């Protein structure tokens, strides 16, 4: 496949050079760079070599007739598609004869700067691999995306991303702002199953945890079992003094009263998001431990103060909030990756069994969207349809929960659509965030967590 990359006058932006470099690594693709066409006195067709596809960074090749089309990036204000949140909507288009409509080949949403976050430093760097990813699909003869229904480009047609942010002054300002506030999470119980919550379309205010010590917070609740005394829950316990999370088991009454709390798992690195894996009558805790460089599972023995010996689930990938599910005879692992993209880029892996070996999805990361990527709880099924909770980080980390309907999930394909956002109400006692939701199967109990940002003068 012959790809023409049409670049403008120097200096060429770093992200465009990175895009060309990424395409050059695609097997069976030959990249031809046509530089500085903006200074030419001739039409692009006068000097442009033949190609199967043109990636146009200049805006001068729209009318070229090539077999796989002319591709071009578009950027725009993302507030209109994120309930007013500051951000950038980015798209890779296959242009059409209609200047106002184009086929969307890839799309993402990146958070902008706010009082709670510096936002994405370089949107261009984050989209630089998109052309290569689409090329890989085309080389594999996955051509459906090229012939999708064209969408309006209004509001997302700027040829360049916003300027690189987070200057030294901004970083200092953000550090001071963080020092003057403290994030406190807590847990809440909702007397409804998750199916009823989805049908309702909103989350009633939970019964918040009562008796949480002031030197710590609890977050990321995963239910174990319901008893006459309340619901047993695994959760992250974060102590401000150590600046590190560990896994605790709590017994919480229906009114939110904390009846028992004891440590289940601690480590020399941060632990959180204690996903509960159930298989053949056994339970395992799969905590988030990206700092360890692997995903591990710990048997939950009954009764015991400590979890059992760790089994390695996946090694060599610094997974954040690993969430496992069985579907169509395979195991699936959803996560983001430790680092700057941990709230934006979703990765999917599959295996015959949950102990692996795992195969990376060929489209990884399968989506780049701060509104609906990072896992926020166990997957669930309603009427045979699979749904995936994810964090909505459009305003801040853990601002709300997005419920995504999975439309396609196979070793070679993935597609999901957000169908519902569950956000905290400003009138709630914990009004500033919500980033985990889990129901106890066979009961009318759903657990969430809530955020309160305490600000100091």
d(CA 447, CA 192): 9
Specify the 3-state DSSP secondary structure of 404. strand
Per-residue pLDDT tens for 377-406? 999 999 999 999 999 999 999 999 999 999
What does the angle CA 86 – CA 89 – CA 94 come to, to the nearest 5 degrees? 170
d(CA 306, CA 64): 66
Q: Do the Cβ atoms of 267 and 258 come closer than 8 Å?
A: no
Q: Which CATH architecture has domain 180-455?
A: 5 Propeller (2.115)
The pairs formed by 62-67 with CB atoms below 8 angstroms and a separation of 24 or more are 62/95, 62/99, 66/4
d(CA 68, CA 62): 13
Q: Do the Cβ atoms of 19 and 55 come closer than 8 Å?
A: yes
Q: What's the pLDDT at 43?
A: 53
Specify the 3-state DSSP secondary structure of 18. helix
Domain ranges of the chain: 2-168, 180-455
What does the angle CA 306 – CA 307 – CA 309 come to, to the nearest 5 degrees? 120
Q: What's the pLDDT at 301?
A: 86
> Which CATH number does the domain 2-168 belong to among 3.10.450, 3.90.1070, 3.30.1380, 3.40.50?
3.40.50
Low-confidence ranges of the chain (pLDDT < 50): 37-42
Q: What's the pLDDT at 175?
A: 59
Q: What's the pLDDT at 42?
A: 46
Residue 266, C-beta contacts closer than 8 angstroms, at least 6 positions apart: 246, 247
The model carries a pTM of 0.94
């Amino acid at each position: 496949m012959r790809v023409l990359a049409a670049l403008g006058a120097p200096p060429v932006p770093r992200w465009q050079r990175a895009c060309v470099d990424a395409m050059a690594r695609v097997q069976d693709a030959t990249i031809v760079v046509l530089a500085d066409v903006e200074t030419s006195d001739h039409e692009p067709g006068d000097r442009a070599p033949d190609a199967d596809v043109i990636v146009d960074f200049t805006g001068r090749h729209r009318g070229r007739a090539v077999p796989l089309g002319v591709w071009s990036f578009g950027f725009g204000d993302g507030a209109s598609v994120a309930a007013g949140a500051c951000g950038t909507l980015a798209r890779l288009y296959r242009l059409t004869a209609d200047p106002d409509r184009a086929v969307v080949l890839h799309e993402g949403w990146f958070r902008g700067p706010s009082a709670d976050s510096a936002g994405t430093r370089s949107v261009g760097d984050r989209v630089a691999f998109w052309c290569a990813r689409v090329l890989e699909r085309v080389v594999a003869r996955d051509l459906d995306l090229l012939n999708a229904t064209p969408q309006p480009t209004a509001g997302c047609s700027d040829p360049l991303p916003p300027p690189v942010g987070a200057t030294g002054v901004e970083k200092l300002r953000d550090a001071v702002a963080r020092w003057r506030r403290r994030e406190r999470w807590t847990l809440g119980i909702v007397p409804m199953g998750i199916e009823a919550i989805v049908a309702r379309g909103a989350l009633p205010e939970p019964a918040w945890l009562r008796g949480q010590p002031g030197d710590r917070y609890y977050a990321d609740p995963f239910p174990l079992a319901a008893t006459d005394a309340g619901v047993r829950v695994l959760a992250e316990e974060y102590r401000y003094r150590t600046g590190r999370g560990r896994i605790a088991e709590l017994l919480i009454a229906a009114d939110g009263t904390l009846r028992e709390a004891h440590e289940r798992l601690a480590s020399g690195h941060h632990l959180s998001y204690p996903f509960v894996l159930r298989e053949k009558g056994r339970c395992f805790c799969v905590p988030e431990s990206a700092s360890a460089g692997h995903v591990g599972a710990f048997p939950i023995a009954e009764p015991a103060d400590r979890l059992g010996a760790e089994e390695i689930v996946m090694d060599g990938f610094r997974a954040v909030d690993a969430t496992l599910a069985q579907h169509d005879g395979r195991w699936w692992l959803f996560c983001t990756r430790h680092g700057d993209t941990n709230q934006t880029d979703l990765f999917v892996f599959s295996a015959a069994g949950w102990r692996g070996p795992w195969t990376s999805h060929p489209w990884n990361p399968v989506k780049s969207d701060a509104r609906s990527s990072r896992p926020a709880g166990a997957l669930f099924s309603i009427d045979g349809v699979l749904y995936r909770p994810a964090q909505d980080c459009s305003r801040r980390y853990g601002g709300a929960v997005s419920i995504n309907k999975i439309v396609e999930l196979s070793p070679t394909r993935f597609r999901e659509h957000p169908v519902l956002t569950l956000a905290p109400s400003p009138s709630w006692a914990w009004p500033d965030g919500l980033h985990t939701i889990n129901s106890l199967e066979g009961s009318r109990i759903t657990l969430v967590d809530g955020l309160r940002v305490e600000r100091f003068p």
